[in-house]
Structure 1
């Protein structure tokens, strides 16, 4: 039997309101409440439709039971992995005492909030029934979702009541029943669900929302973050291999590029499934993403709702945010150019007046687009949000090309404004380290054609900071681009361009690549002479830098005349007391020292120190540097009685003036430790080396070249103390670190290989020592050239290893060539030449050829006394070696007095416990010549 109904019944006036029976509740004026005798005809307002309903449709809400099949989760397809912790937190809310439980899951669009809610509701033992899913992105959507619940409970009401009355009917039902669960998905405004959150506490609400700051009433708030790398890879794999095996080359890299964001991974996986011919692997998708980012961000699989793509999801979010505050969109596009983590708020000081800026930050925070960190005063943003915000799309009003260009230039200007004044001042390093990732990101995500003058300044200064931090490989990338931009925008002859060329050369120099550094420095000098003239201060600086590079390359024949010329011209142009003039004196003194001309080196270092004390004062950093350099020259001359007190004074002054952690202070502590080692005082040397290494690890980091130098020096000290096992361990570690940090061809890496080979030889492990010496020599010949002093040292070390192996047929020719090269390249009086002469003499002696050994020893002693002085440690060693040779020749009349003199001098100069003194004492006691050990 059909129940009659009347359609479009007009009322001339509103009927008298019907009072609901006890237990029924109508939600507002003229709301419908069905109870008692009020059934059969339902009228719902002025000019309303009168509907005749069956009696069962008119029962009070409290008497309506949930019919089977009321759940609607089956309409929510989703992919799900991981999230164990978040699921457990939602489970834990069940134990909360009281009535209704409100749970809120918030996070960035596409983060997987809906998937988490659906998975929890469908699979966990929450015990709720019925379970209804409501799209809650607007007030109208919430109302429709409640209306759908009412009609699912009582289908006969579907045509009887308008949506708003159906929603009120659903609220009545919820208020009179317990155990239900509503999933309110994608809430944009808490006011849209106020009728549920502020209603009777009889069931459970699970809310998902991008909003993060409005859920204080919830008993459990879960902030959802991206998947772990393993979970992201699992999600991509599940989707792409659902129909069978698949080539997943590049899968982990793709997940990382997508920032492990679930929606982005689902979108990419669906594309891979549908385009197996044109996009067979995740790596192929990565290539498409790099070439066509705008298209790929908005491309979903066939059948995927457009609003479920990354581009659409975030566009809807920005639509709402920019409606509330237009500056929020500008802020997001600006943040897109920086690194995703730890974006300092100071970068936004000039973005807008504080109230407007703070409102924009607050909105982006509220919608989970950015995350503030109060502890660091910084912001974090998802890298894929940044990538999208940097990518122009003509179909997206938030990503027009002009808006993105403006944001890029704005981000560049802000970064340039906050860079610290002096990248070499350790006090600025914390700020530099905080800003450097953002300079790197700006460089990574812009192209040279868009560089402005501000970009060039940022890259140039970041490069200089990286050089100072011992990271020349990273510096080169920034400095080369700054140079290219300067040449394009300013021209090749502009002073800034020439400065950039000098900086690129400095980076190559620091990286040990003098083959590329020297031509750039030569070009810079030539250009400055042409453009600025030969006597311009910048020309003199260019000449000084080139001279220093020649010295590093071991080309002292070109370095010294250039340094001398620069000093002369600076004295004429600037005066003898100018800082640049004093710097030239310091450089020239160092070059003399490298050439073995210690008399002139010491004299010039003494003059420089005196002048700096007078002009700059005793506490100026350059004065402290001169103290250190003069002490080093005294040490090179073997005058440790003057070197060590001066090192100690320089260290005390540096600790007081610069602080105990300043890199200059650490250098002075390291040098003092080396000097104590040279004096044979290893009880002082080793603790100083250990302390320096510890502090450099803390201050400079484990990869800084000076940290690696400290480890090398500590290894040498352990070796000198006889702890060769510890020395070898440190040498091996240092070689590994230098290979990783500096590369296989850096001069310091080659030194590490040579030192390790020498240590292996010291413990008799010649099977490892000789190949390593051979590799060191081959590499130095290739990298440094045949005439570099370190190449000559490598040849002598290889000769020594062959000698230790008893292979004098190989050792002697190598020693002979090493001596000939040293005499030709360094000169006959260079300390290294004197050492080479002694080494060859010892090899002759080992071969039983005393007729050639003794004249070499005699010349070596005479030259040492003349060049180094009678008390230099090398002179004392030469005297002992000659005494041994006389003894081997049976000439005790000359041997014993010479041994006695050598012992007396060594005890007087070095002390009775110095290793050389102990060695000479043993030689004197062994008149038969057995057990002798030459010191060379």
Structure 2
């Protein structure tokens, strides 16, 4: 007999055994009953294969409730997907729910689904568990097929598909198994779950839950020092896996506290992220968990991993899209963002156009590790450079115009983060430029501490990178001096300004614009320190130099003339100040135009000089014009507009219009709170001004809480020694004095005087004012023994420092006259009053409010001395002048009318004169 085909067998005779042909594969012979249809196979007991659960599960109540609601819903099949960042606790949540709330599902099978092979292995294991006799009888493909058939013909089962990397890997399973049973899917992927009824995004634990998790694990061996536990949880971003890793480390090393673990994280981040406790599997550490994701992301698109490393240098939230790979072409950038989003490494906010990255992802991504291909020193350095470049490109061109401030506000958190995370020795000139411009913006916004910090670092960077004499270095030194001046550190400011001026003269020359600017800035610092002689000398030199170098009409020349006028104003030489201010305003209108910011500032300054000279009508007219122009040109909310409103309010207050003044002050404070914020120096000044207006109006119940708040805020924001803080302490003391709380008033006055002597020196005008105020408080208590020497010292110092004709010197002479009068020395009092009146007429003019006050005081002295005739004559003249200058209803006018009536009544034996 002969076989005719390739694998045919020719048999001769009877043969009752199997005959095999082919490649000699193993063949298993099964009886027919062993291969029942899967629909007829019942699930045996003990088929569940859930992983061993950790002994501790904390929180996630809302998430468990959502799983309950979705997986207990009626219907033949329910698919629930849980996605989130690696280490967020997806598998732990799924395992806990499946073990504790399965709603009668059986069997409960756990399948690792991170690849097609793993899915098949899970199905093979299910088939083998269902029919153990088939374990070695059928090939894997056949077993997987039987498992699929079983799932499609039975109900009530629960399959947990854990760690799905690609929805395509489980698509055949979902399609074949429906419409029976329940699926619970966990994945790092966020985006591809369309078509799945319920998708749950898992987030980090809340603060209380993460603290409870850390504490529970770390204290398993008993009570221990948990100092710093809350800070550690925050540093780890409340990520469950990171909390678990840290807690296991603490439980293993009883000498390590949460605070010392924080120190280890700061000093050895690469080691701490990579290593866990002895009992922590290496594949369950933060570094390893995310490396698996990064391996896949890098394989799909390397630019996505580059982008993640770049984003690591910014703040974790609200990262503008402009900072996300600006140098990458748009399609690649879009793909990178999409891929990182899909793997839950970033979270986009489409409405805001921003991205967020978990802070621990950032911390790991910017920590170099030579043994990690995703975090080599070269890659980390490259990412920092990219982050710096993107930030620099995104900076607005200007920092002092309000239309750029919204953009600046979005960038500042990321500039701060870059400064915090980048080692200073890696800074470049680009870094210095970012910090310098941000520092100037922060200074403009009143955030003086942050501004100073950035400007200090920018200067150090430029000295190191560019050298001491580079123009950018000199500019940075000037900017830092400006910051020191603003925070009241006048000694440091003057020292830096002097050094910068000297260097610019040497490097740039006497006539360079930068040199002239440095000389101007130094003059301004001298002026702030009360050294008016040196300030005026420098201002005069700068004006002459700018006229010679730049010409009469150059904007810088006009600014110099304005600054010199301001110094004369500060010195009390109002006539020269007004003359210069008027000339400057005329020139600015001609050269720059009516609406130029310099012109508007010049008009404001002239108004202020008119106000100080007692010409309140012209002052108010100019203030009103300036306010209207600034509203029209700059807008209602521009800081200069708000300043104009404040100045107009003060003029109304000086003119006796306290109602209008308080209304404007209240509006200005409300607007400043909204536009500039609670802590801006201008806002703090606005609250102080409102307090002073309420004080002037006699509303001490309102003014004292405002003064107290102003002082507390200035101490907190500006520091104990800032000039504005010292002024607030002085104002509060004055308010306490007015309500008769002389003990607290004197205590505050003494503290303020002591602080001013220490901070600005014995001869600063503020120090002289403090000594005068303390003398006044002693005088109010009747302690003339303390008051008289202080008044005499103040007058002598004012004559020496400020000169005979300074308004403060004239006020000091007036005050000393008053205390002599109270002491009964009427002769000396009248002599001083007469001299003060004559000087005020000569210096301030007949109609200045201070001149009118001097005439009133002299009248009162004559009245006290019994010379009622001369007193009434002066009272009549003062009343007429006050009615003419200040108006019928001004508080000073009302005082004059009362004084005159009282003097006439005394002359008539106590009866008022009949009309």
1:665 alignment partner, SS class = helix
Are 1:625 and 2:625 an aligned pair? no
Map 1:578-589; keep pairs closer than 5 Å.
578-589=554-565
Deviation at 1:65, TM superposition (A): 2.6
Query: 1:769-817 CA distances to partner (integer Å, 9 max, x unpaired)?
Result: 2212222112212112111111111111122222222222222222222
Unaligned runs of 5+ in 2: 10-17, 911-915
Residue 229 of structure 1, aligned match among 190, 207, 216: 207
State the secondary structure of the residue aligned to 1:205: strand
Residue 422 of structure 2 is matched in structure 1 by: 446
Structure 1 residue 170: Cα displacement: 1.9
* Residues 336, 385 of structure 1: 8 Å contact kept: yes
Query: Do structure 1's residue 739 and structure 2's residue 715 form an aligned pair?
Result: yes
Corresponding residue for 2:14?
Answer: none
Kept in 2, the 8 Å contact 1:577–1:611? The answer is yes
Output the CA distance in 2 between the equivalents of 1:907 and 1:124. 88
Distance 2:869 2:327 in 1: 89
Deviations 1:714-763 (CA, angstroms, capped at 9, x unpaired): 11111111211111111111111111111111111111111111111111
Q: Which residue of 1 aligns with 2:38?
A: 61
Structure 1 position 77, deviation (Å): 2.9
Residue number in structure 2 paired with 1:326: 302
Determine if the alignment matches structure 1 residue 109 to structure 2 residue 86: yes
For the 8 Å contact 2:248–2:280, the answer to whether it is kept is no
Alignment partner, residue 705 of structure 1: 681
Residue 295 in 1 paired to residue 271 in 2? Answer: yes
Conserved 8 A contact 2:307-2:325: no
Could you say which residue in structure 2 is the equivalent of 1:641?
A: 617
The answer as to whether partners of 1:79 and 1:115 remain within 8 angstroms in 2 is no
User: For residue 47 of structure 2, what is the aligned residue in structure 1?
Assistant: 70
Over 3 Å counting, the alpha-carbon distance change for 1:918 and 1:55 in structure 2 is farther
Report the CA distance shift for 1:673/1:59 in structure 2 as closer, same or farther (over 3 A).
same
Paired position in structure 2 for 1:187 = 164
1:422 Cα deviation after fit: 0.8
Please name the residue that 1:482 is paired with: 458
Q: 2:343 & 2:866 partners in 1: Cα distance?
A: 94
Q: State how far apart, in whole Å, the 1-side matches of 2:470 and 2:381 are.
A: 27
What is the distance in 2 between the residues matched to 1:623 and 1:659? 16
SS at match of 2:28: strand
| Aligned residue number for residue 145 of structure 1 | 122
Distance 1:514 1:929, change over 3 A: farther
> SS where residue 51 of structure 1 aligns?
coil
The Cα of 1:297 is off from its aligned counterpart by: 0.6
- Counterparts of 1:411 and 1:878 in 2: how far apart (Å)? 66
How many Å separate the matches in 1 of 2:30 and 2:719?
A: 86
Q: Say whether residues 1:93 and 2:70 are aligned partners.
A: yes
- Any idea what the Cα deviations from partners look like across 1:615-666, whole Å, max 9, x if unmatched? 0000111101101010001011110011000000001111111111111111
Instruction: Report the alpha carbon displacement of residue 151 of structure 1 after superposing the two structures with TM.
Output: 2.0
Does 2:658 match 1:682?
A: yes
- The structural deviation recorded for 1:13 is 6.0
Match of 1:245 in 2: 223
Shift of 1:162: 2.7
Aligned to 1:36: none
2:13 is matched with which residue? Answer: none
1:395 has 2:375 as partner: no
Shift of 1:209: 0.7
Cα drift, residue 12 of structure 1: 8.2
Please say if 1:491 is aligned against 2:467.
yes
The CA deviation string for residues 248-282 of structure 1, in whole angstroms up to 9 with x for no partner, is: 111111111111111111111111111223xx201
Contact 1:128 1:181 in 2 (8 A): yes
TM-score (norm 1): 0.93
- Would you say the 8 A contact 1:792–1:821 is kept in 2? yes
Deviations 1:800-858, CA, capped at 9 Å, x for gaps:
22222222222222222222221111112111111111222222222222222222211
SS of equivalent residue, structure 1 residue 660: coil
2:523 corresponds to: 547
Q: Which is further off, 51-60 or 358-367? A: 51-60
Residues 349-358 or 548-557, more deviating: 349-358
- Check whether the contact 2:70–2:198 (CA below 8 A) recurs between aligned residues: yes
State the match for 1:823 in structure 2.
799
Matched, 1:833 2:776: no
Residue among 107, 130, 135 paired with 1:158: 135
1:383–1:870 distance in 2 versus 1, CA, 3 Å: same
- In structure 1, the partner of 2:284 is 308
Q: Could you give the per-residue CA deviations for residues 219-248 of structure 1, whole angstroms, max 9, x where no partner exists? A: 211111111122111111011011211111
Displacement after TM superposition at 1:72 (Å): 2.3
Q: Find the aligned partners of 2:641 and 2:703 in 1 and give their Cα distance.
A: 25
Cα deviation, residue 59, structure 1: 3.3
Q: Which consecutive aligned stretches of 4+ in structure 1 deviate over 4 angstroms post-superposition?
A: 11-15, 45-48, 52-57, 928-931
Give the secondary-structure state (helix, strand or coil) at the position aligned to 1:441.
Answer: helix
Question: Is the Cα–Cα contact under 8 Å of residues 483 and 497 in structure 1 kept in the other structure?
Answer: yes
**Contact 2:51 2:110 (8 Å CA) reproduced:** no
Q: In structure 2, how many angstroms separate the alpha carbons of the residues matched to 1:833 and 1:353?
A: 70
Secondary structure, counterpart of 1:702 in structure 2: coil
| 1:929 CA drift (Å) | 7.8
Alpha-carbon RMSD: 2.1
The structural deviation recorded for 1:204 is 1.0
Of residues 142, 145, 154 in structure 2, which corresponds to 1:168? 145
- Structure 2 residue corresponding to 1:788, chosen from 761, 764, 767: 764
The Cα of 1:79 is off from its aligned counterpart by: 4.2
**Which deviations, in whole Å up to 9, do the C-alpha atoms of 1:866-922 show, x marking residues without a partner?**
111110111111111111111111111211111111111111100111111111211
CA contact (8 A) 2:72 2:103 kept: no
Contact 1:923 1:929 in 2 (8 A): no
Whole-angstrom CA distance in 2 between matches of 1:130 and 1:862: 107
User: Structure 1 residue 342 and structure 2 residue 318: aligned?
Assistant: yes
Provide closer, same or farther for how the CA distance between residues 14 and 756 of structure 1 changes in structure 2, counting only shifts above 3 A: farther
Conservation of the 8 A alpha-carbon contact between 1:135 and 1:186: yes
1:893/1:310 Cα in 2 relative to 1: closer, same or farther (>3 Å)? Answer: same
Partners of 1:605 and 1:630 within 8 A in 2? yes
**Structure 2: distance between partners of 1:497 and 1:815:** 48
Q: What count of residue pairs does the alignment treat as equivalent?
A: 894
Please tell me whether the aligned partners of residues 107 and 211 of structure 1 are also in contact (alpha carbons under 8 angstroms). yes
Aligned-partner Cα distance in 1 for 2:501–2:7: 100
Provide the residue aligned with 1:34 in structure 2. none
Q: Tell me the distance in 2 between the aligned counterparts of 1:12 and 1:632.
A: 115
Rounded to whole Å, the distance in 1 between the matches of 2:343 and 2:520 is 57
Alpha-carbon distance between aligned partners in 1 of 2:394 and 2:670, rounded to the nearest angstrom: 32
8 Å CA contact 1:102–1:217 kept in 2: the answer is no
Q: Which moved more, 1:753-762 or 1:86-95?
A: 86-95
The farther-off stretch of 770-779 and 78-87 is: 78-87
Equivalent residue in structure 2 for 1:368, among 327, 334, 344: 344
- Counterpart selection for 1:877 from 843, 849, 853: 853
1:614 Cα deviation after fit:
0.2
Deviations along 1:464-494, whole A, 9 cap, x unmatched?
1111111121011111111111111211111
| Deviates further, 520-529 or 777-786 | 777-786
**1:307-347 CA distances to partner (integer Å, 9 max, x unpaired)?**
21111111110100111111111111111111111111112
CA contact (8 A) 1:272 1:281 kept: yes
Please give the secondary structure, in 2, of the residue aligned with 1:75.
coil
CA–CA separation in structure 2 for the residues paired with 1:345 and 1:803: 65
Contact 1:887 1:929 in 2 (8 A): no
Whole-angstrom CA distance in 2 between matches of 1:752 and 1:51: 97
Partner of 2:12: none
Unpaired segments of 5 or more residues in structure 1? 1-10, 16-40, 932-936
Question: Structure 1: how far apart are the matches of 2:6 and 2:440?
Answer: 87
Instruction: Find the aligned partners of 2:6 and 2:284 in 1 and give their Cα distance.
Output: 49
More deviation, 101-110/268-277:
268-277
